Amino acid sequence: MLHINRRDFLKSAAAVAAGVSSVAAAPTKRTATDWVQLGNSGVKVTRLAFGTGTHGGRIQRELGQDEFTRLVRYAYDRGIRFFETADNYKGMPQMLATALKGIPRDSYRLMTKFKWQQPDNPRVTIDRLRKDLDSEYLDILLLHNVRTNAWASELERLRDEFSEAKSKKVIAAHGASCHGLLPLRAFPDTKWLDVALMRINHNGVMMDNMEGDGKTPGDVSEVTTHIRTIHAKGTGTLGMKIMGEGRFITPEARDASVRYVMKLGTVDAVTIGFKSTAEIDEAITRINTHLA
């Protein structure tokens, strides 16, 4: 008979426990359709969002309602449950509402953007945005396209209206979409931001620079540094222009961009505008690959 003293028994038990703990702590496989937390916002979305604003929504709009609905339903069935649009994308909020009609509202998330230049009463506009999307509430509402380093003070009245809407649960989270290095430099110190939508890819196409001309390559290094700081402060970070607004026409370029963004570890979720089921499949596959 094998005799084991108490010390050896305890050592053995500890080793087994350590092994069990190691197995339990094994990293969970991450995918494009995981539900992820957007910083401290309290809002969860799928890591990949279906964007409707390629070239101002023209690409999606030209599909026509029937084909667009088919594409949205395909994305939903593939596990994409985060849909993004804007007041500026003419007709797209209404087309998106039609495409999602009949699907349980609590099964997906909606993000839209407020055209802050319009003189309308902000509360009336927010109500209209909800009506356009046929939804009692908005998961995320962003100030669209802020461009100055003083945007937070310049738009203080609107920010207060957004905060009021959030207190009434008309919206769940508020934030801004960034266009330019000047506003981006101010993002880390703007505590009001629950969510920040920022342009990011591997080589600066359609990204933030000081010229703001859409042609000069963005400063990838500076943008990446700001995103890291913003993320560390608890703001939900969303990436856009992952495909360079359609300018990455080769598979190699698209793969390089997805790889770069996924490896950063500081972008909670990304939005990509789609025009075909093949593009949806490709994006999911590439994200899954580079998250592995």
Residue environment code for 216-234, b if the CB has 16+ CB neighbours within 10 A, otherwise e? eebbbeebbebbbebbebe
Q: Whose CA is closest to 108, among 48, 53, 45?
A: 45
Q: Are strands 109-114 and 138-146 parallel, antiparallel or unpaired?
A: parallel
Average per-residue pLDDT for the chain: 91
pLDDT at residue 3, rounded to an integer? 46
Q: State percent of the chain over pLDDT 90.
A: 85
pLDDT tens digits along 230-255: 999 999 999 999 999 999 999 999 99
pLDDT at residue 146, rounded to an integer? 95
Q: What is the mean pLDDT of residues 258-282?
A: 98
Topology annotation, domain 30-291: TIM Barrel (3.20.20)
pLDDT at residue 12, rounded to an integer? 45
pTM assigned to the model: 0.89
Domain ranges, ordered by start, for the chain: 30-291
Look at the chain and count its residues.
Answer: 292
pLDDT tens digits along 205-228: 999 888 766 678 899 999 999 999
Whether the Cβ atoms of residue 254 and residue 262 lie closer than 8 Å to each other: no
Q: Are strands 35-37 and 48-51 parallel, antiparallel or unpaired?
A: unpaired
User: How many whole angstroms separate alpha carbon 142 and alpha carbon 89?
Assistant: 14
User: How many whole angstroms separate alpha carbon 96 and alpha carbon 118?
Assistant: 22
Helix (H, G, I), strand (E, B) or coil at 56: coil
- What the block records as the tokens of 265 is 């570890």
Report the half-sphere exposure of 26 (CA within 13 A, side-chain side). Answer: 6
